[in-house]
Structure 1
C-alpha cells in the first residue's frame, strides 16, 4: 500500500509541474485552457501531498519506526519543494496570462 501511495504521489507531483509548464510554453499561441490546467495542477499537487500524508500514516500504523526515522528528512522536504514549485509555476502562468483574465 505504501508503495502505491508513493508512486501516486510521484506521478501526481510530476503532473502538477508539467501542466503549468505546458501553459507557459503555449503562451505565444494564446491558449484558452490555461485556467483549467492551473486548477488541475493545483489539485494534483494537493492529492500528491495527501498521498504523502497517507503513506506516513500507513508507516505509523504498521509501527515501522526504522523506516520513519530513515525517511523523515525526505518526508519533510520533498512535499515542501513540490508545493513551492507548483505555486511558483502557477504564479508565473497567472502573471503571463494576466491580461486575458475575463471575470
Structure 2
C-alpha cells in the first residue's frame, strides 16, 4: 500500500506541471477565466505530492529501513525541490501572462 504513495506523488507532480501549461496553451481563447482555478489546483497537487513523499519517508523510518532512506534521501530532496520550483515558476508565468492580457 505504501508503494502507491510514490506513484501518487509522481502523478500529482505531473498534474501540477500540466495544468499551468494547459492554461497557457488556451490563453488566446476568449473568456478564459479558469487560469486561477488551474493554478490553485496545480499548487495543491504539488503540495499533496510532497506530502506523499513525507509519508513514504515516515513509513521507511517506522519500519527502520535505514538503507532505503540513505539510498533515496538525496534524490527525494532534489526532485521535491525541482517539483516545487517548476510548479511555482509555471504558475508565476501563467499569472504574469494573464495579468498582461488585461
TM-score, L = length of structure 2: 0.94
Contact 1:2 1:59 in 2 (8 A): no
Aligned twin of 1:24? 24
Farther-moved stretch of structure 1 (56-65 vs 23-32): 23-32
Aligned twin of 2:47? 46
1:61 aligned onto 2:73: no
Unmatched runs of 5 consecutive residues or more in structure 1: none
Deviation of the 1:66 alpha carbon? 0.7
1:88 aligned onto 2:89: yes
**Hey, what's the Cα distance between the residues in 2 that align with 1:73 and 1:34?**
34
**Hey, what's the Cα distance between the residues in 2 that align with 1:2 and 1:66?**
17
Aligned residues: 101
**Hey, what's the Cα distance between the residues in 1 that align with 2:74 and 2:47?**
20
Unmatched runs of 5 consecutive residues or more in structure 2: none
Deviation of the 1:100 alpha carbon? 6.1
Q: CA RMSD in A?
A: 1.2
**Hey, what's the Cα distance between the residues in 1 that align with 2:40 and 2:100?**
18
